[in-house]
Structure 1
């Protein structure tokens, strides 16, 4: 089936879906798996199993801490069954080679002592999704308890970028050829994956209905720029840009940082609900993705949710050079370099407000995750 001329067929028989991830469906901060789960709920029984959470998580500012009271019990949230598996401690990458044997033993113990809920949900699933991270260590268990289930890997991140333990990497490398599909949100990620024939390109989607939730403008007269989110946030951008452009009001939403030498024309907001940010995006003169360049992987050009949202609304974006990719609506700068920041902002202010890419709906994304072989545009 051609990806540009699809019928959006859905399975007529409801299915049972299981997502295994280190995220939790109930947290306020949204990632791609939350939107995927929103769509899966419409198609059948959907379970969201959250792993690698323990007493240690409080020291890592884990976003799931806000639902700690719900740990280790089944709850239904927005139509999905959720379970946050909390253990006393959980395995992690020590990043110290001498500790590797102990680290491997710990991961092995974790893998061999799965939650009873995980086993139950695996047994009942028609489709099991393993998100990048530690989830693939349970691939063998899924094959053992439910060999007939479809097993798909969702590569939200490159494993090296998120510093997974060597044990996890080896588990994934062994499992990869036997997965039903490996779905990559960026073609750039293909080179970081094992050489297998089951890799498919499935970009992130966007909820097209947000176009109706982005009015009226929250801004007064004048020029306005917006930054949304805390991922790899670099405060130095606003320290420089706010003084270069005193006539622009910079709106920094949910950065997780207090004011740090910003000009008076920078307004800092606490984290907002996703829908509440949309007015700020649609009606801005340009958007900003102020990533720390040294930490920006090349695939972020395709997977950055904030840059996708900016482009959906036709908003020109300013971002570090590695996040520009092939998108005409983005203008790159070198962090800390005032001249390049000024040049990028001036280019964004002069750019037309038109999208530079095709945006799949989340329904179209889920169609591809369930059956990527049916779509011509998933080929790598």
Structure 2
């Protein structure tokens, strides 16, 4: 009798479901959660990313933001590249910040309805995944629903930002404080954010990474020879007043601004160029060949973590750029930080001019991780190896 050799079944790819206000595969800007998705996909994971923080209310009150999403991507899964799929979720309502806390009960009701309205297509996807990542967005209101749908998944809260200082409702902060200890991991990109979470929370400081491969080859300079060029790589908490003082103090320099800043924000000053949002590959040559990196943050409460958690600043460091930023955003100043006072934005110009004297050869990127190192730490802390095998529950 012939003996048939048993061929072991191929192990299915591990699966992850990410909830973020960002989107993969549509050519939008590269942010931390997009890098998470891409890195997991490169490791062989099947990735689904659900874009949140939208609703039919957004379509009414912020049509320009809503219009960037293709109509055929709304409320359905679409392929977004190799082992990547995206779902732009647009329910009737989502929990929004109200002008007064007297209206918090309305937001609380919206938060409950938000979880209850999670589409079946997403719940079915969640049921079989190994990992669910919820970014610091309105998606915190989905935790209970997702935990019920995916009892065997590992849950990670990615605290890219603090909720309330970034326009989220205090109701969502209350939900996070209740659910934080129930996550398998709460990841923060800055040491100063560890104390934000209640006792019993498995909170770990895991910094952002950088896409080192994108910077390995020196790109030709987009600047004219012999010119001085300053770059603003991102619009987060953008302070146009300080930025204008820098432009006025350095008329011989050109400011290159990338992000969703309005060209009118600097009053039509002649040495500023606005590019809007561009693919990361187009931004890299500007980063590599600039003279100074600007991080002009507006002075808002609870922003002291920015110097540690800013992805743009890691990219500046990788390109050995001196960084100009307000002192409140640099609780641990470095030799390559050139500080000004946000309450006296006229001091920003002198800080930028001083940055020209920085010895850039001494700026070290030794402690800057890449995204594979970041994801490896995340998976280790929840008991999953990069191939997707889960250890004992935490």
The question of a shared fold, defined as TM-score above 0.5 by the shorter chain, is answered with: yes
Which position in structure 1 is the counterpart of 2:49?
A: 48
Report deviation, 1:115.
1.1
The structure 1 residue matched to 2:272, chosen from 266, 269, 279, is: 266
Which position in structure 1 is the counterpart of 2:211?
A: 207
Distance 2:87 2:48 in 1: 8
Q: Is the 8 A contact 2:247 2:349 kept in 1?
A: no
| Structure possessing the higher radius of gyration over alpha carbons | 2
The structure 2 residue matched to 1:361, chosen from 341, 363, 370, is: 370
Q: Is the 8 A contact 1:210 1:275 kept in 2?
A: yes
Distance 2:112 2:198 in 1: 22
1:252 matches 2:251: no
**Greater CA deviation, 135-144 or 28-37?**
135-144
**Greater CA deviation, 352-361 or 282-291?**
352-361
1:141 matches 2:126: no
Which position in structure 1 is the counterpart of 2:223?
A: 219
Q: CA 1:294–1:61 in 2, change beyond 3 Å: closer, same or farther?
A: farther
Which position in structure 2 is the counterpart of 1:307?
A: 313
Query: Match of 1:66, SS?
Result: coil
**Greater CA deviation, 17-26 or 116-125?**
17-26
Question: 1:329-377 CA deviation, whole Å, 9 max, x = no partner?
Answer: 2211124736622331233111122235511111111111112378xxx
Report deviation, 1:106.
2.1
**Greater CA deviation, 280-289 or 98-107?**
98-107
1:16-165 equivalent positions in 2, closer than 5 A? 16-27=15-26, 28-42=28-42, 43-58=44-59, 59-60=61-62, 63=65, 65-69=67-71, 70-79=73-82, 80-165=84-169
Distance 1:310 1:85 in 2: 34
Report deviation, 1:66.
1.1
Which position in structure 1 is the counterpart of 2:7?
A: none
**Greater CA deviation, 122-131 or 356-365?**
356-365
The structure 2 residue matched to 1:292, chosen from 285, 292, 298, is: 298
The number of aligned residues is: 364
**Greater CA deviation, 115-124 or 227-236?**
227-236
Query: Match of 1:130, SS?
Result: strand
**Greater CA deviation, 67-76 or 155-164?**
155-164
Query: Match of 1:138, SS?
Result: helix
Question: 1:104-153 CA deviation, whole Å, 9 max, x = no partner?
Answer: 22221222232112211210111111111222322222332222211111
Distance 1:356 1:334 in 2: 26
Report deviation, 1:196.
2.4
Which position in structure 2 is the counterpart of 1:7?
A: none
**Greater CA deviation, 288-297 or 304-313?**
288-297
Distance 2:15 2:189 in 1: 23
Q: CA 1:224–1:164 in 2, change beyond 3 Å: closer, same or farther?
A: closer
Report deviation, 1:307.
1.3
Query: Match of 1:275, SS?
Result: helix
Query: Match of 1:224, SS?
Result: strand
Distance 1:322 1:236 in 2: 16
**Greater CA deviation, 331-340 or 197-206?**
331-340
The structure 2 residue matched to 1:337, chosen from 340, 344, 361, is: 344
Report deviation, 1:205.
0.4
**Greater CA deviation, 130-139 or 311-320?**
130-139
Let me know the Cα RMSD of the aligned residues.
2.4
Q: CA 1:230–1:105 in 2, change beyond 3 Å: closer, same or farther?
A: same
Report deviation, 1:310.
0.6
Question: 1:239-273 CA deviation, whole Å, 9 max, x = no partner?
Answer: 32223222222222335211433543333333322
